[in-house]
Structure 1
Amino acid sequence: METTGCVVVGGGPAGMMLGLLLARAGVKVTVLEKHGDFLRDFRGDTVHASTIRLIDELGLGDEFRELPQSRLGSVAFPAPGGGMITLGDFSGLKPPYNYIAMMPQWDFLNFLARTAAEEPSFTLLMEHKATSLMYDGGRVTGVRYRTTAGSEGAIRADLVVATDGRHSLLRQAAGLKSKEFPVPFDTWWFRLPRYASEQGEVAGIVPAFGDGDAVIALFRDDYYQMGYFAPKGAGQRIRSEGVERFRERIAALRPDLADRVDAVRSLEDLHWLDVRLDRLRRWYVDGLLCIGDAAHAMSPAGGVGINLAIQDAVAAAARLAPALLHGNVTVQDLAAVQRRRMPPTVIIQTVQRGMHRAVFVPLFSGRRSGAPPFMQFVGRHFPAMRRVLPRLIAIGPRPEHAPAFARREARRPTV
């Protein structure tokens, strides 16, 4: 049977960052990722300012900035009668952390994987899906897995960390219970072409509100990543109406993109996201810790899920690396991680719930169409909010710094 100090289940942002940090501490760590690569569309693609600062502290800033990316400078929405109202301007934050980087998540994960692979105590096992937990006397002692080729195996570890997302198999296997909050919408992601004449820096995210629905566009080099928001339970209606009606809805919301909605060839081109908002009451049992979406599923409102998950990973590494090096991780250590990361989770989820009630519930219930009046009022008359909102989104409550054992001198990108 294979053995390791820590086995991390899930090769997303939290899992890969935790693996890198623990390996830099000298902990023997193995990350299991069920897919063969990181190339999957419509995952969160924002790298927030506090995460960019963390990357600089790890000595990786120059290499990170060489990756394909664009900079998000503001959040704005169309004003009635024309023009734009800026709700948040990231340029007001302290440089050089005054923007959010937009990049395909696979590039970011490959970057973390390459860096972690330089550490002799790090192992990444692709196409390895965790299937169950192993126990000894009531304590979690490892995981069983199955490979894509069909072989089965097990890894014994001093600690198992679940970073396997909002539908975490491990948190279910451990019997951990969550507190769930109502969410009024689901999201359908898809692509539309971006023409050469439209190239340039990303100035901001501009949502468009309709009569009972909304859409948002994220800029990529040669396409727009579109998110269509509709009420919970609207999936059957969307499917029954067919692709032509869906194109009409997008064209009505974004007339400037109506000339390319035919790029949605069928409803199979849509990627449905079942939006959830929950958090575990307890993030751990003896020998197992959940972080990131496995501990707290976040709404896409504000796009903060990745950042919060990475901050969890940093806090977990800082607390647990010394204990892992001595092979004596206690329940008290795991509880300390939850105590540190629960307050920022609660704050962000409370803000998201407020956004749901103020923006989406009236929109989807038919009580309002178009942009919320309060957003218009705040955007026009409270310029101080343009500083508060960007800090909440880009930095977040209780941002974490790289532990001393993980810091390195800045190095030049390799050619």
Structure 2
Amino acid sequence: MTERTTCLVAGGGPAGMVLGLLLARAGVDVTVLEKHADFLRDFRGDTVHPSTQTLLDELGLGERFAALPQSRLHEVVVPSGEGPDLVIADFRKLRVPHPDVAMVPQWDLLDLLADAGREEEHFHLRMDTEVVDLLREGGRVTGVRYRTADGRTGEIAAELTIGCDGRWSTVRRLAGLRPHEYPVPIDVWWFRLPREGDERQTLTPGMRNAQFAVTIPREGYFQIAYVARKGLDAQLRAEGLDGFRARVAEVLPELADRVEKLESMDDVKHLDVRLNLLRRWHADGVLCIGDAAHAMSPIGGVGINLAVQDAVATARLLAGPLRRGRVSRRDLARVHRRRWLPTVLVQGIQRMMHRAVIGPVIEGRRSGPPPLATRLAKLVPAARSVPAYLIGVGLLPEHAPAFARRP
């Protein structure tokens, strides 16, 4: 038998869980399918930006979020090599309720959202359930076929299917929506090292000897992003653990005394960085948002923030049509129009950062940020609030609609 729901959300990441919760609070019957048995995956992107923290407050979840284990980022700092470090972004300059970036394991945030969703009668979360095909009728997408971890298959009919299933989106592929790919010169390798009493709360890039890395303070450890030219993964693994340790010690000499704590190359997770954008985010009966519509570079850590804002805008714009039981292509186009400009502008900034900052470093042409940016940051300290706002708040922040707010 074919089951039924009003809105089928594929993917239980931040966009999918926020969207499911908001629509359920609007009285829309919504089913979220997550292909994994739990949310426990490392290095998924654990930044919770000021605008997302404000959203959680508006949803009545601020106290629950504050109780999660977390650390706080206040600045983005570049070591100058001589003299004081250069502050590129200072989140404390922002006039917002939460002037910092919270570093929270994403599985904890997703569990919080799932628990809040289960309190709503119209919210249904099904783990271990993967979308494998789309149902169609007269050219319109009318739901999905799914497969569970134990091999059981079934169908769920839906007025609207929304792909929140990431940059390798199954929904996007099955719907025939193809993103435009922008060239990206870098990949990222994630790993962790112990803090060993180091209490700094700043995001600190290291740039030297044609290498680039970023140190992110977490509860009890540093999360490290080693950035190098795209396609280098096989070479790094061929060099082995000792070779990788030497690379890290060279680009982050302040952590050279603990690189031996990296015990295996299996602990180094490769991210194939992609930057792409759907020209059209929807077809009849189906919509893609978040990474399914626009994969982002990890530069600035803004991908999650954009995905959550996509979800809020989608819930606000589509709750009414979903309650009425009919969502038109014009309704879906409104979501695309609302979120297209901030997405394009942020991706433009990321492409510029690839060309002007990271590219010259990994090519050995420079060992620091552009001189003009350095002079500006020193001469005009107030300029630090500009990148802080772009990273922390975004170009078009979205707020919880009235139907989703709780005291």
TM-score, length of structure 1 as denominator length: 0.96
- Which residues of 2 match residues 5-404 of structure 1 at below 5 A? 5-195=6-196, 197-198=197-198, 200=199, 202-404=200-402
Between 385-394 and 258-267, the greater mean CA deviation after superposition: 258-267
- Alignment deviations for residues 291-350 of structure 1 (CA, whole Å, 9 cap, x no partner): 000000000111100000000000000011111111111100000000000010011001
Measured after TM superposition, the shift of residue 373 of structure 1 is 2.5
Distance 1:58 1:24 in 2: 10
Give the whole-Å Cα distance in 2 for the aligned partners of 1:118 and 1:258: 48
Unaligned runs of 5+ in 1: 410-415
Between 1:60-69 and 1:286-295, the stretch displaced more is 60-69
Does the residue aligned with 1:88 lie in a helix, a strand or coil?
A: strand
Whole-Å separation in 2 of the counterparts to 1:401 and 1:104: 23
Query: Comparing 397-406 with 383-392, which one deviates more in the overlay?
Result: 383-392
Rounded Cα–Cα distance in structure 2 between residues aligned with 1:181 and 1:217: 26
CA deviations over 1:373-393 (Å, ceiling 9, x no partner): 233222212323211111111
Count how many residue pairs are aligned between Structure 1 and Structure 2.
406
TM superposition outliers: structure 1 runs of 4+ over 3 Å: none
Report the RMSD for the aligned CA atoms in angstroms: 1.2
Q: Deviations over 1:353-410 (max 9, x none)?
A: 111111112122222234432332222123232111111111101111111110111x
Work out whether residues 35 and 128 of structure 2, in 8 Å CA contact, stay in contact via their aligned partners in 1: yes
Residue-by-residue CA offset, 1:135-170 (whole Å, 9 max, x unaligned): 011000011111111111111101000000001111
In structure 1, distance between residues paired with 2:98 and 2:125: 30
Equivalent AA in structure 1 for residue 393 of structure 2: I
Question: Is this contact kept in 1: 2:202–2:217, CA < 8 A?
Answer: no
SS in 1 for 2:297: coil
Distance in 2, Cα, partners of 1:220 & 1:251: 20
Q: Which residue of 1 aligns with 2:404?
A: 406
Given residue 333 of structure 1, which amino acid in structure 2 is its aligned partner?
D
Q: The residue matched to 1:261 in structure 2 has which SS?
A: helix
**Is 2:50–2:96's contact at 8 Å kept on the other side of the alignment?**
no
Identity %: 55
Q: Which residue of the partner structure matches residue 413 of structure 1? A: none
Contact kept in structure 2, 1:87 and 1:378, CA below 8 Å: no
Q: Secondary structure at the match of 2:276?
A: strand
Q: 1:193 to 1:80 in 2, by over 3 A?
A: closer
Deviations 1:156-188 (A, max 9, x none): 101000000001111111111211111110000
Letter in 2 for 1:78: P
TM-score (norm. length: structure 2): 0.97
- Tell whether the 8 Å contact from 1:160 to 1:288 is kept in structure 2 after alignment: yes
Equivalent-residue separation in structure 1 for 2:274 and 2:96 (angstroms): 34
Query: Which amino acid counterpart does residue 354 of structure 1 have in structure 2?
Result: M
